[in-house]
Amino acid sequence: MKTAEIAQRFLDFFEKKNHTIVPSASLVTDDPALLFTVAGMVPFIPYLSGVVPPPYPRAADVQKCIRTNDIEEVGKTPRHGTFFQMLGNWSFGDYFKEDAIRYAWELLTAPESEGGLAFDPKDLWVTVYEEDDEAHELWRTVTPLPEERIQRLGKDTNYWSTGLPGPAGPCSEIFFDRGPDYGIDGGPATDDDRYVEIWNLVFMQYEITNVRSKYDFDIVGELPAKNIDTGMGLERIAFIKQGVDNMYETDQVRPVLDLAAKLAGKSYGAESHEDDVRLRIVADHVRSSLMLLADGVTPSNEGRGYILRRIMRRAIRSMRLLGVEGATFPELFAASRDAMKESYPEVEADYARLSAYAIAEEQTFLRTLAAGSAILDQSVAEAKQGGDTTLSGSEAFLLHDTYGFPIDLTLEIAEEAGLTVDRGAFDQLMQEQRTPRQGRCARAQGRHRRPERVPRVPCAR
């Protein structure tokens, strides 16, 4: 079942349940506390919190999201991606826990001929917040799910909030059991990759304040109306329904992965684990970059543009580590466009502009890599030969200031070599760079560990 078909089945199901179908909001959110739309509920926060009257009592959507807090896990697990799509159904003071649970079970288990997703009930597990007796009882009575596959978990897994003041509430998560070939028995409580979370039903009941962490806050009281906020990971449903091992092998991502492997002369799944991870990084990051560009983000050194630049440069470096030193974005972005255009026609309509930014960024960064990589490689080799475990902050600053080598890339390369970077010293030099120039040049020039290899920092430019 293609990804686009899964999304359409979801929308059709909830439209028949009297939900208004809402188009995806932009990846660039209006919320001043966020750079991007990081979850399906972000566009609905004003309605969920009661600040703005909702224009409909119930809604459903397919929301584009970008999340980079787990960027280091991309390619390593079956489920982490920087761009993903959330299928959501929403109730604003209309139905609550019972109907949310009933709808979810019906859509997941109904036959494909009846518009469902045809999951076998024996493969499904559920978790509820440990104090939510009501949700636990509803799963027992509304569905045929046996009690041994309903697990109670704590606030760190089954209480949802944005990590900011506003709406929050207990949640109930639905998991798919991939079987004993993928891990240990015991259900989602094991936190094993064998159990894939596919749908989160959030029972938005409370308003929180004094947020000390995502799971440490004060509850002000109940919201003006009890709301339902659900999120089903489209990519996760797709890789299960398509019979592949992870989201990178689904129909909207795999074409880029296969093309990257072809350009690198690699065989995905047949060679090294490290190469497979790099190919998955490329596939994910090219798609994320395409979708960010389509929503008006352009590469820069600040804010959203910096996040885009970092994602694009990680893809470029991954291709370089796969043995490809020339440009690949003209081909890779075209492959991603073709894979995504059925769901997002704008990536084809505006492709000339999007590809121009991507190609220019790649050309610039390839020059940066050529200039900085040799110096960093030498620094890494000398540090290891000398028994050091840390690269100096001044070397990282030199790479950044003289060659445009981003600090996050220096950190990644050092980590791959088993080294750390003196980030404190780097940050100090960055801070001094932002202060008036008097005296700064002499300080910077005196801090490099191997001055004979370091060009002098010009004091006027």
At 209, is the secondary structure helix, strand, or coil?
strand
The pLDDT of residue 436: 54
- Distance between CA 376 and CA 417 in Å, rounded? 11
Structure tokens at 39: 């979850």
Q: What is the pLDDT of residues 235-278, one digit of tens each?
A: 999 999 999 999 999 999 999 999 999 999 999 988 789 999 99
Q: Are 102 and 119 in contact (CB under 8 A)?
A: no
Q: Are 290 and 282 in contact (CB under 8 A)?
A: no
With CA atoms as reference, report the closest residue to 288 among 314, 258, 322, 263.
Answer: 314
The pLDDT of residue 380: 87
Q: Which helix (H) or strand (E) holds 340?
A: helix 329-340
Q: Dihedrals φ, ψ of 397, to 5°?
A: -65, -40
- Confidence bin at 431 (pLDDT 50/70/90): confident
With CA atoms as reference, report the closest residue to 22 among 64, 53, 52.
Answer: 64
The pLDDT of residue 329: 98
In the chain, pLDDT over 70 holds for what percent of residues? 94
With CA atoms as reference, report the closest residue to 374 among 314, 452, 453.
Answer: 453
The pLDDT of residue 412: 82
The pLDDT of residue 402: 79
Q: In the block, which residue shows the tokens 């019972």?
A: 98
Q: What is the pLDDT of residues 296-350, one digit of tens each?
A: 999 998 899 999 999 999 999 999 889 998 999 999 999 999 999 999 999 999 9
What integer is the mean pLDDT of 89-95?
96
What integer is the mean pLDDT of 407-433?
87
pTM of this prediction? 0.84
Q: In the block, which residue shows the tokens 């449903």?
A: 237
- Distance between CA 282 and CA 81 in Å, rounded? 11
- Distance between CA 24 and CA 46 in Å, rounded? 16
Q: Exposure of 259 by Cβ count < 10 A (0-12 exposed, 13-18 middle, 19+ buried)?
A: buried
- Distance between CA 259 and CA 337 in Å, rounded? 13
Structure tokens at 152: 């109670």
Please tell me the number of Cα atoms within 13 Å of 313 on its side-chain side: 25
With CA atoms as reference, report the closest residue to 358 among 322, 330, 319.
Answer: 330
With CA atoms as reference, report the closest residue to 22 among 3, 40, 2, 1.
Answer: 40
The pLDDT of residue 401: 82
CA torsion sign, 259 to 262 to 263 to 269? positive
Backbone torsion region of residue 387, taken as left when φ is above 0, otherwise alpha when ψ lies between -120 and 50, otherwise beta: left
Give the list of residues 6+ apart from residue 444 with CB closer than 8 angstroms, or none.
394, 397, 429, 432, 433, 457
- Distance between CA 187 and CA 184 in Å, rounded? 8
- Confidence bin at 452 (pLDDT 50/70/90): very low
**Hey, how many other C-beta atoms are within 10 angstroms of the C-beta on 144?**
10
The pLDDT of residue 116: 97
Q: What is the pLDDT of residues 147-197, one digit of tens each?
A: 999 999 999 999 988 777 888 899 999 999 999 999 999 999 999 889 999
Kindly list the structural domains of the chain, giving each domain's residue range(s) and its CATH number in brackets, ordered by start: 3-241 (3.30.930.10), 252-372 (no CATH), 388-453 (no CATH)
